[in-house]
Structure 1
């Protein structure tokens, strides 16, 4: 459950959106989600860089050398107008094209994504507060990010527009342990929400079978194991 400082920070971000005239709940949640996704891209890139340093093995990167300014930890320091122009004209078009040459769900669903934050001041305020939120030690867990997303969705629920709540992690993990999925299974969640069941399934397979899996199993784990709608 979201309480205290984290709740106040999310409420403050929400107020920034509404003060800028963004009164549609779905639009606010959409923009909130895009920014969370952009932040997660930088986290994945950091993990890739750390892996390369430790292993000496080269991996595929999200951000080319000439696109490093699109990374959260870099652009968050930009002044308002520069940040706004970069987000609107470069970063958003860039994230829409990730995996665009593949038949992926991401490519299909991001095709019509639009940047809708109306002013440089609002964008800067939201990114600054989101950054403070992500730096909070409590937030630096996967399940806490799910809690944050659920709390944001609950704001729509309180307005009578949606009813959507996440299954608690301990319940998801118990159900997955009862099913005991196998490395070569195909797992589908037709109403996946924030994908908690898929995450728990992937974690179970990795933790249970990871040291026994060969190249074929890891290839399936990366590309064919999980599907969510």
Structure 2
């Protein structure tokens, strides 16, 4: 996939679509990075768009040299459908209309949320696969004065994962009324949005931070996975999560 992404990004540059400026500093690892206000806006927007397009957060390949704070999503969807879904989701935050290359292999849209300007890029990887790139266009100095937008109940600076990022690791079931059941093997954790107290098997457990749901997306505190017996290890591309016999590297999202 990395080769396809690199080739697609080269095509994006050649198409003349607006790109965020390349980063000049070496980024810290996703699990420990400190976000600016602008990247906080990007993180919040990525959660919204991920829910709308059923996308999966992935680590942005280093060879793309995106600006600090950029977020990448992988979606099994076609460009026309993504343009419609995203445009409907962002509504009045869009600045102008989508710009698309003649071959319809890439599209870009500028958004303004709070005091941040964000670039949304769509790059076709295959007939049914698309890379979505969200990048802040402000400098960190300009963005520092901006208050980051984040879902209510989120603890700033703490790592979260989306329920969709846990596929293959943990089974997440929506029980309704803000309650969710997380299952790993024979271990079951039932939690409620906005509440630290959760049910673990026949007992209770106090989470360090509550999970947060906006009715569509579920943001789960990364450390709460330990209650399911999962192990967390810092990795170069994020955090390696092992639950039973399953393991995967996940990129946490930090506001």
TM-score by length of 1: 0.31
- When you count helix as a share of all residues, which structure comes out higher? 1
TM-score by length of 2: 0.29
- When you count strand as a share of all residues, which structure comes out higher? 2
